[in-house]
Amino acid sequence: MSGGLAVRAAEYLQVRRALGFQLRSYDWLLSGFCAFADARGAQVITTRVALAWATEPQGADRSWHAARLSAVRGFARWLAAIDPRTEIPPAGLLKGRSRRADPYLYCEAEIAAVMNAAQAIASPLRAATYRTVIGLLAVTGMRVGEAIALDRGDADLSENVLTVRQAKFGKSRRLPLHPETAAALRAYAQLRDERFPRPASPAFFMSLAGTRLIYNNVHLVFRRLTRDAGLRPRSARCRPRLHDLRHTFAVTALISWYDDGLPVQPRLPVLSAWLGHASPQDTYWYLHAVPELLTRAAERLEPLPGGPR
């Protein structure tokens, strides 16, 4: 990589994160840009180089190209105060409509198929790691980053409770676990400890190198597992994603409340707190008009006076 740009990129990310920004994808985005610039002998950021990098790969969605350029623009804006040779790519240079993806809501059989695909991974520890992570996300609705950020001390498996610390919005919360979920976590922890009896990392879920799982790698493995399990996109905007396990959890919770005859509206703050949202308003993002949910909601509505019975 271009030594100067790579060093500055690391400094930039350190400053932004010190201000509270997480910037999970920026490590590999800016690393890729610095490598691209180095291959072209560029020692400073120019609009031409930034644009050439941002528009790769050819044929990708325009919003992805725009997002790549936005990452470089933020870096360039910061770097321009240090190196006046830096060019800041103009805003609006790449126009991409940011369209919300349609969530892929999984049925139980699909989740089981993906977990079975994980079980087929050659390494027993790696197989157990991904099978357990996917299962945990499915039954708790946790964020992916929250799951891989868990430390051993966050899992009180004698009391069947997980503590999610300093998650999004700086909030922490405790999640009670079903006994079967806690048993699955204990089985994984035993296998993990046999492989790493004196671990260097406090992480609950570990890679084969004995380190914490990497966010982007987890997504890549999940994508491969969905293909191995035979899951296919339902449309151009509805593809199996790891984050959709969280959507599925939220929608399934509402459906179960409807089926049990429980009042749903007063329970939304409970779901919001469980998911770690700042307010119930944030939870509505996860509640989608799937046919099953609409049917149950309609059944609760009283007919209008004079309307059909």
Rounded to an integer, what distance in angstroms lies between the CA atom of residue 88 and that of residue 70? Answer: 10
Whether 95 is catalytic: no
Yes or no: say if 139 and 249 are a contact pair by the CB < 8 Å rule. Answer: yes
288 is catalytic: no
Q: For 53-81, give the DSSP string.
A: HHTPSTTS-HHHHHHHHHHHHHHHHHHHT
Coil, helix or strand at residue 174: strand
What's the fold here for domain 109-228?
A: hpI Integrase; Chain A (1.10.443)
- Among 165, 243, 288, 296, the active-site one is 243
Q: How many CB atoms lie within 10 A of CB 193?
A: 13
How far apart CA 254 and CA 265 sit, in angstroms, is 10
| Token pair 């039954």: residue | 139
Q: How many CA within 13 A on the CB side of residue 249?
A: 20
CA distance 86 to 45: 5
Cβ(96)–Cβ(64) below 8 Å: yes
Predicted pLDDT of residue 62: 80
Q: How many CB atoms lie within 10 A of CB 140?
A: 22
| Residue 17 annotated as catalytic | no
Q: Considering the entire predicted model, what is its pTM?
A: 0.68
Is position 85 annotated as part of the catalytic site? no
Question: Looking at 168, 195, 212, 223, which residue is catalytic?
Answer: 168
Give yes or no: 246 in active site.
yes
CA angle 219, 225, 226 (to 5 degrees): 90
Q: 8, 68, 143, 192: which one is catalytic?
A: 143
- The radius of gyration of the chain from alpha carbons, rounded to an integer in Å, stands at 23
d(CA 286, CA 195): 38
247 is catalytic: no
Give the pLDDT of residue 1: 37
Pairing of strands 173-176, 155-156: unpaired
Closest CA to 14 of 91, 109, 78: 78
Q: Quote the tokens at residue 49.
A: 């180089």
Structure tokens given for 5: 């740009």
Quote the pLDDT of residue 142: 94
Long-range contacts (CB closer than 8 Å, 24 or more residues apart) made by 184-193: 184/132, 184/135, 184/136, 185/132, 185/136, 185/155, 185/157, 186/157, 187/128, 188/128, 188/129, 188/132, 189/152, 189/155, 189/157, 191/124, 191/125, 191/128, 192/125, 192/128, 192/129
Provide the H-helix boundaries in 120-242.
124-140, 144-148, 179-195, 215-228
How high is the pLDDT of residue 307?
A: 45
pLDDT for position 171: 75
**3-state percent breakdown (helix, strand, coil) of the chain, nearest 5:** 55, 5, 40
**What is residue 287's predicted lDDT score, i.e. its pLDDT?**
66
pLDDT along the chain (309 residues), means of 10: 77 81 80 92 93 84 85 92 92 69 90 97 97 97 94 95 80 92 97 94 95 93 97 90 93 87 83 81 66 66 46
- In the sheet with 155-156, reading across from the earlier edge strand, the strands are 155-156, 161-164, 173-176
Catalytic site residue from 104, 246, 247, 258: 246
Give me the pLDDT at residue 303, please: 47
pLDDT of res. 4: 85
In the chain, the amino acid numbered 79 is L
Which of 115, 162, 138, 165 shows the shortest CA–CA distance to 247? 138
